[in-house]
Structures are given as C-alpha cells and as structure tokens.
Structure 1
C-alpha cells in the first residue's frame, strides 16, 4: 500500500486537466508516440470538440520516482462542469489527495473554489498547480499570491507547469509521491468498496469503477450492493491501465474495476457501497444519495416516423448514463415524444447532440423547465415539471419553486452590470467580498428557472467572458407562478406553454411571439400569434398575409364596393 497514490485533478472548466493528464500518461510511458492523441482520457467526440470532460475516467500510472522505487499512481479524472458536481464528489471520496489546477492567466475561478471546498470536505491533501505559465498573459506570481491569501493553501507546495509543452510535469509527479499520503485500509476486514463511476460495455455488461476501502474482492465472490440489496457473481477484477488489465484480486487501497454480468448501469449508483454476501460489512460508506434531475424538457422527433428510433436511442443512451430519465409524452401540435430529466443545461445539450449525431435523428425540444411543488386547497401536494400538468388555478393554495445559491467571480469593474442582471432575475440575499484586489466574489440566491433560461449567456456577455459561475441547490420557496400559453390563430400550442413568474410573463410572451413570427412562413391569410395567461391576452404579433387586404381600412359604402369588386374577380381567378 505504501507504493500506491490515489489522486484526482480538480479545476475550473478549461484550465487544462485533460492536457496535464495526457502529459503524465506520456511521461509514464503508457502510450507510444504513434498511438498518442490529445485528450486521451476523453472518449466522446463532443468532449474533444468542446475541450471538456463529461464522463470521468481512471488510469493507473506506473511511475519510477527519483528514489528508485516504483509507485502506482491512480489518476481519477473528474468532470469540470457544475452539472456533474455529485460525480466529482464521489470521485474525490476515492482519493487521498488532489491537484488543484489553476490557469496562470485567469487565476482562481468560481468552480476552482467549489471543487476546493469539495476536496476539503473529504479531508484530501491538496497540491496547488499553476498551469499555462508559457502564455504571454500568464502572471504566475499573482496567482501564487491568490493561492496563499485567498485559498489559504501552503504556497511552498505550489507547482508551476505548462501542461501543453510538458514543463514541470515531472516535478508534479515527484510532489504527488512525496506529499500525498498512501491509502489506508485493512485487506482482511469485511469488503467495503466505493462505486464512483460505471460504464456499459455491450459485450460484457456494466464495468464498475471502484475504490477498495477495506477488504479484498476476487473473481468468483458474490457481491452485494448495499443501496438496493442486489447480488452478483464477480467475473473479473482488474486495474485501469491504458487497456483494462485483469488481476487475481483487488485489495484495500487499490482503484480498479469489477465485472459481474450486470445488465444495466442503473443498478450501480455512484456513491453506493459494495460488500460480500458471505461476510458483509456492518454499515455502508457515508455520503451516498440518489442523483436528482433538476432540468426537464420534452423531446420530439421532427418526423413522426422517427419516434421508434428515438425510443431505441434513448434506451441506448441510458445504458451509459443512469442520470438520464425519460417517460412518454405527447402533444397535439408535435405528436408523440418523451419528457426527459437532466442534471443541468450542459447535460441536456450533450444528450441532444448525441441523439442527433450518433443516431441521426432531427429533434425539437421544448423550453427547459424545473420541478415546482404545488400545494392544493385540499391539503395535497403535487410535483409538476411539465406545463401541461398545471393544476386548475382555483384549486391552488400556493406554489414553491427551487432556489440556488450562485457564486460568481468577476473583475471589479463588472460589479454593477452583474448585480443588475441578478436583480432582473429575481435575485435576493446578495453578498460579496474581495478575495484579492481587483476581483469580487459575488453570491446571490436565485430561482433555478431564471438561471436555465439565459442567465449564463447573459453573464458571459455583460462580463465580456471574464465572469465565472458556480451554483448549489438550496430549497423550494413560495412564488407567484402562472402558466403562459402561446396561441396561433386562436389555437393553443401545448408544446410552447411555459411556467413563468407573473412579473416576467409579458416579457417572455413578447419574446416567444417575436421568435415565432420569424419562424412561421407567410400564408395567403394573416396569422395572429398571441401569448395568454388563462383568458387574458398579454402579448400579440401578426404574420402578415402575402396579398394586401384591401378591405381592412374601409368602412360603409366603400367597404361594400370593394367587397363587390373582390367577388366579381373570383371567377376570373378560378379561370
């Protein structure tokens, strides 16, 4: 165990986690120059194009240190986006230490802080690493001062590197060996294994990524999942080298994989504890919770012939993504589709892109929504995420919507516009402090429904790209919500309905009407597009007809004369 180090790389999105992992893999001679490609640990095209990690990966790096000993460094790569913060927390639980990666040009960002707090909650040893020191705009001395004063970390431990060109990566590996503690655990105790990830293999079933806390697991053992009580026979155990490498056993302190013929990823929940049927551990490891979907949207195929293909595609995606939920849905305007639940907007975008690319299905998505709690006058509660299920307003006692605590890091000069943006989005309980001269950490409690609409885009716009954003869920609070219906020529289009705050209803209605006006093609008759709350029209626009309506402004005798003129021309048109 003394020769094992389990560590993770945590950072704000796009600060160079995957690039640093690539250099470490190359330095440990895990891959030849011919086989190397950027972002080795990222499997999906979307990850490579966007430069983000969506699905966390693990690899065991054999490293010979300067003292001549060989160490096994288990790198647990984590997603950088706030949508996957629970996966990050479980990955950190499987480690003893973490590299906190900070961009030398951008400094400490919102998710840097959030991930640091997650690491501290798990009592991890933290090594600060300042990356991208080769950039012309890099200011590593100022960032080192930030680490010391703002984060409260030991400045003597700070490592300087450029992951892109490979400068300083060898020093980081030496720091991991010297400064991170080896794992603890008893190989002879009852088995306690933490699940931190799972992927689906169509030939072998679910591959479970585990950290063995106590005990030993071998092929042939009967294992039990403590959250649902399901039991399976272990077929194979092994380590994550560049290819999976089978081992005779996994013992305390090791990070590896277990194959047990599991048919679905849903049975293997991140944070769950695995034990042996024959000698179970007395209690599960702490920290497990069910993954909660926070954003909901309906997905419809543009062609109704693609409905069966969409159903099959969602089933296949769910095999590899247990956080995705879906159920059948239908719309009078768009036909049959599915109501899906996502961890956040990035998760929604990824699923949408994968459906369109991998399965070649053209899609229509409804406006993203969140879960509201309706307290009805008969004392019952109803959870609604679809505007189509909005109860009768006469029976509603009160409505509660989810709130988040947003942390925004910005340069000082953008304070005014960001505060205005938060106030426009119904922000409350705002506070701020100066982590270092020239930068402000701004905290605000916001309704989640306002954040998923266009908040992040507006924040990046008003801060010219310098604002960073992170959030955590708080609670549900009373709110004055209404159902906003969109009518086209007097007919309600159910798929376009939204649940919005009463104060924002007219603004949202106007936006929806204007967008529809651009999208609906002109006809030989005028098309009225209206936004309504109940029976009250609050916004309207028209798609004008292709021919001029000569009777519109006429009255009296002139109107009758023009009407007769039109009637007389009808036979000519038919001819």
Structure 2
C-alpha cells in the first residue's frame, strides 16, 4: 500500500507559513526608520546592542545600513532583508522577515520593489512632522497593493504635535480610521510610557545609556497608575475614552481590509514602545496566504514551490565579487540544491548557493517557507521581477520600471578600464540601480543613465569607482520627461528639437523631452505619433 506524503507536506507548509511575518518599514527620510529596524532586532534578541559606533561624534550605524555611503550620510540607500526568530510574551514562536527600505524619494523604485514582497507595512511617522510627502507616496503604493498598515508615531521623546491632532491628520489625509493600541502617557517630549488600551495597564519605560540596550518596562495596574504618573495618566485615560467614543477601537477585519490602521507610540532611539510593536506584529500582522499570478489567479501558499525576485544586489562583501538575488518565497518548500525553473527563459536554475541574509551578513540556508526571503548567490541570470518555480508552472507579474526624470551621459575616465566600465554599467543596470539607455547617436562608449532622483547617480558613480575600479564622469542632459514610443515613430521624434530617443536594455524605446510642455507640444503637433506613459514614482 502506498502512503501519500502530499498531505503531511501540505500541513507542514501551512504551519510554517502561519509562523511567518513578512513586512516592510516605510517612512519619510529622517523619521527614524533604520533606528526602529535596529530596535526591533534588538528587542527580539537577535543582536545584543544597537548600532556600532563609528565616525565622528560617536555616530551610530545600523545592521541594515551597511553601504559606506549609508554610514557616511546616515540614510538608507538600499533595501535590506533581516530574518530572525521571535517568541511572544505568551510563548508563541514566529519568524520575522523584516525588509528595511530607503526613505529618500530618489530611491522610490527600490522601495516599490520591496513592497511587492511583503504582507504588511509599518508606516513610521515623526511625531513633530506628521504625514510627509514621501510617506504619502508610499502609502498610496500600499493602498494600491492592498497591504495592511500598522502606524507608528515615533520620536515621542522629543517635542512634537498633540497625539489627537496626529490621529485627525491621518484620518483626514489618507482616509484611514486610526485605532490606537497604545496611547502616550506624557506629552511629546516628556515620554513616561504608554497606556495599553486593550489591557488598561500603564507600561512605564526606563532610559538606558544611549538607548543601546532594550529599555526596561514596568507594567503597572490601572488602579496604581495615577500614583505612578499623576495627571499624565489621567489625561491619557480621558483621551482614550474620547477615542473609544469616536469608534477608534481596534477592529481586525477593517485592518486587514486596509480601511483602518492600529497605532502605537514609540521612541526608537530610546527603545521605548518597541516591544509592544513586536508583539502587535506577531499577533496581528497577516501571515503569507499565497500570491496572485500574472493572470490574477491565486497561487496558494501550500502549492508547489514558487518565488519571485524583487531585488538584485552586488558589492555587499568587498572580498567576494558575487551578487545576491533576493527572492520572496510565495508557495511551497524551498530546499537548497533544488533545481528550479526560471520562468522568463524556461531554463533550469540550480540553487546550490542559497543563503539566509541578515543585513550584510550571510549564512547558508537549507530550507525556506512561504514569506521567507532567500538570498541566491551568483545569480547572474536573475533580474528583479523574475519568477522561479518547481513542478507546476507559474508567472508572477513583472515589476515595472519607474519613469525617469534625470538623465546623464556616463563616460569612462580611464581608457585602460574599458572592460571594467562595461561590466559595471551592465551590473548597475541589471540590479536596477539606474536605467541604462543607448542610441546610435551616442554609441556604446557613452551610455545614458536615467534615474528617478539625482542621488541614484551618486550611488552609481561611487560603486563604479569602488567596486569596479572604473571611475566615471557624468554629464547632465537637459531632459525631465520620458515616454514609451514605437520604433516606427522614432525617426520623426529624433528630428525634433529638445527631444531624443533611446533604447532601454530591455528593448523598450524611450523618447525623452526637455519639459512636460515640450512633450505636450510634440503630441499636439504630431497626432499620429504614439507616446505611452511609464509608471510615475508617485503612483
């Protein structure tokens, strides 16, 4: 008698998927995103001390900011995957897949790619500044992809706005019902602790030296909270009651439908309120349930293995010239050494060099489950948006390229580095650091780099010099708008002033224009020419 192993395998996949929490942290620059990422890892006991002292004035870097430019500038330039286990206060174990994203608008494409690979997002808001432009753009991406959002009001240890005012702003500007799970005890700048609105207890925090270790917490019963915090506790209770009267109590269904957002108050720099966020993520964030394919059909999490590549990154280790393709497991079980199918080419892909990624650190990965992020080393054939599968074929939707708004000609400044120049430009193109455009007019020796923001050019130039030993000069071009055009229309467009036509590496032809008004004039004067829009960074 043959005993089927399909059911036990499916049960195991389902159980492992339920343990996963895969989410991204999104915010405007300087809201404290990388600091919060570090604090979450610290509270989960995956590291023992936040940051590593470096540079002048004892500035800290984080495990998620590993590039030299990130350390020097104190901003996130590239997204990073961090996986670590976490056991809740009730004893439930889960696996956290945390994707730290660039906050700067110039790196919107990288953040967009990450948001295709998560089941939930933590929207971080500066207590003094409220909702800022980049946060709003990223929220719209989450809304478009139906990604539930947990909101965190950060920097409550500093002077800022009133908590109720921030709730009103979120509701009015992005039409999300705020349902705070914690409420601050003490005004912004005098952060004593939080009221846990579900248990009614006062959680009092104690500072540690430099915020380098997890802040001690004291859970105080409501009957003793007034003695501990005085009028600040009374104000927190009164405001919490107002919230309840306004229908601002947590509702899981509306959260998963993306019509409400639970809210927590933190100071990531002091590690205040971070433990509560970890508990909420473990308890409330959705676990992987599968992925829609290119035809809109759901690939169930328990189906045979499938994954899609959302990022390619090289230069993580100066001692090794390999590159890592980050792939989100969508269904089934991954085992190192599996021979998968690359959907774009139909060719086999061997996974001998699979790795678990923790910032810049890497270790051999033997098994992964839905929601996990796999690092595939030496994956020269893979591009962002590619699908990998086994047994049953599937193709997930491609990741669109954003419409570039900045253009520069890249030239090799050292003729003896010709091979390194070509290899470096190709690598940056494949990773999606910049888009690479070419034309007969300019030739292969002077490719045009196209970007959403000018800081992408700085990253490209830095990496060309440091990783490939091929310094480049960049000459800015006077174009600000790009449209997809047909090959048949290219000769007509090439003859026009303040217009140029390029071919992108993927074969798409782009017509670029000096201004949007020039584009409108060309379209009006040449009604037979077809010009199609690309995805804009704010869409």
TM-score of the aligned structures, taking structure 1 as reference length: 0.60
Residue number in structure 2 paired with 1:194:
308
Query: For residues 331 and 399 of structure 1, what CA distance do their matches in structure 2 show?
Result: 14
Distance 1:366 1:132, change over 3 A: same
Pairing 1:381–2:498 present: no
Q: Is 2:159 aligned against 1:136? A: yes
Summarize the alignment of residues 289-300 of structure 1 with structure 2, pairs less than 5 Å apart. Answer: 289=400, 293-300=404-411
Of the structure 1 ranges 162-171 and 216-225, higher mean CA displacement relative to structure 2 is found in: 216-225
CA distance in 2, matches of 1:198, 1:112: 24
Which residue does the alignment assign to 1:247? Answer: 365
Q: Which residue of 1 aligns with 2:449?
A: 340
Q: Deviations over 1:77-102 (max 9, x none)?
A: 12223344343233223222111111
Partner residue, 2:477: 367
5 Å-filtered alignment, 1:54-73, equals: 54-73=77-96
Match of 2:44 among 23, 28, 31: 28
Q: TM-score, normalised by structure 2?
A: 0.63
Deviation of the 1:338 alpha carbon: 3.7
User: Deviation per CA, 1:123-157, whole angstroms, max 9, x where unpaired?
Assistant: 22211100111222454442232123333232322
TM superposition shift of 1:178: 1.9
Q: How do 1:343-354 and structure 2 match up within 5 A?
A: 343-354=452-463
Residue 266 of structure 2: aligned partner: 161
**Unmatched 5+ stretches in structure 2:** 1-16, 53-59, 181-261, 291-299, 502-511, 526-539
What's 1:492 paired with?
Answer: none
User: Greater CA radius of gyration, 1 or 2?
Assistant: 1
- The structure richer in strand per residue is 1
Partner of 1:114, secondary structure, is: helix
2:387 aligned to which of 273, 292, 299: 273
Deviation of 1:375 (Å): 9.3
State the match for 2:286 in structure 1: 181
CA contact (8 A) 2:337 2:352 kept: yes
Relative to structure 1, is the Cα distance of residues 231 and 203 closer, same or farther in structure 2, using a 3 angstrom cutoff?
Answer: farther
Whole-angstrom CA distance in 1 between matches of 2:23 and 2:495: 50
Structure 1 position 309, deviation (Å): 6.1
Cα distance in 2 for partners of 1:362, 1:121 equals 38
Residue 314 of structure 1 corresponds to 425
**Is 1:172 aligned to residue 277 of structure 2?**
yes
Supply the distance in 2 between the matched residues of 1:92 and 1:373 (Cα, whole angstroms). 25
Please say if residues 374 and 382 of structure 1, whose CA atoms lie closer than 8 Å, have aligned partners that are also in contact.
no
State the secondary structure of the residue aligned to 2:272: coil
Q: Is 1:96–2:111 an aligned residue pair?
A: no
- The aligned length equals 397
Residues 98, 249 of structure 1: CA spacing in aligned structure 2 closer, same or farther, 3 A cutoff? same
Question: Which one of the candidate residues 124, 138, 142 is aligned to 1:115?
Answer: 138
Q: Secondary structure of 1:174's partner?
A: helix
Listed as ranges, the gaps of 5+ residues in structure 1 are 402-446, 452-474, 483-575
Q: Secondary structure at the match of 2:61?
A: coil
